[in-house]
Structure 1
Amino acid sequence: MGYLFYGSADPIEIPDRLLAHLKVVVATKLRRSESFTLSWRHTEDIPGGRSTIWLQPSIPLRFVFHSESDSLDPALLVSFAQASNSSQGLTIELDMLAEPALAVSDLVAAA
């Protein structure tokens, strides 16, 4: 498991493979000065239903990985990028990508 540190809030625990894909999309968007929302459903051990953060270039951001990532899935990167451009923003499932054979449609909520 890796961590996404955003601003001064507590880190968000995200599987390394999912975090590697997010890093590419987030870095690309922020490099272009494009802000967007990132949402996720909490795992059962965290109270509440879901969280959303507003990602913008002026807030400190750090990705911490526990292990090296496998190769990135180009279709998943495209799907994440498209979702990040929508009015709903990018929504991820934190328990996804634990199994490498999941379909892209299973990983991103419909926009």
Structure 2
Amino acid sequence: MGKILYGGQGIEIDMDDRVMAHLQAVVASKLRRGEGFFLNWKDDLAVGDGHSAAWIAPDIPLFFKYYGSRNIELNRQWLEIMTMGANSNGGLQLGDEPTVSAPVNGNGGGNGSA
């Protein structure tokens, strides 16, 4: 379980390392183009049954802290789904990972070999 440190106020968003690796790839792609988007997720039942949203933009600092040390093989299909969500008016809604169809290496590209 990793966490994203969001903004300058010390807001911490707990997230599974695998989910976070995919999100980081999508965030990097959007922010390189100077594009912002909403990130939406369902809150953990321990904090209630609600949901949260954060505006992700080039001028808001983000820090990704992974607790695992292994490279994470990215699922191309999930990256595409997440990117489509980030490009939509409603923003990226974090959800479950689809089955693996074409993994890519952790560097964001390549032929699926690690």
TM-score, normalised to structure 2, is 0.79
Whole-Å separation in 1 of the counterparts to 2:29 and 2:36: 11
Flag as ranges the 4+ runs of structure 1 deviating above 3 A: none
What is the CA distance between 1:10 and its match in structure 2? 2.2
Whole-Å separation in 2 of the counterparts to 1:45 and 1:31: 35
How many aligned positions are there? 98
Contact 1:20 1:69 in 2 (8 A): no
Quote the sequence identity (%): 37
Number of the residue aligned with 2:5: 5
Contact 1:40 1:92 in 2 (8 A): yes
Larger Rg: 2
Higher relative contact order (CA 8 A, sep 6+): 1
Counterpart amino acid of residue 6 in structure 2: Y
Number of the residue aligned with 1:17: 18
What is the CA distance between 1:31 and its match in structure 2? 1.1
What is the CA distance between 1:70 and its match in structure 2? 2.5
TM-score, normalised to structure 1, is 0.81
Matched, 1:26 2:27: yes
Whole-Å separation in 1 of the counterparts to 2:10 and 2:40: 15
Q: 1:50 to 1:9 in 2, by over 3 A?
A: farther
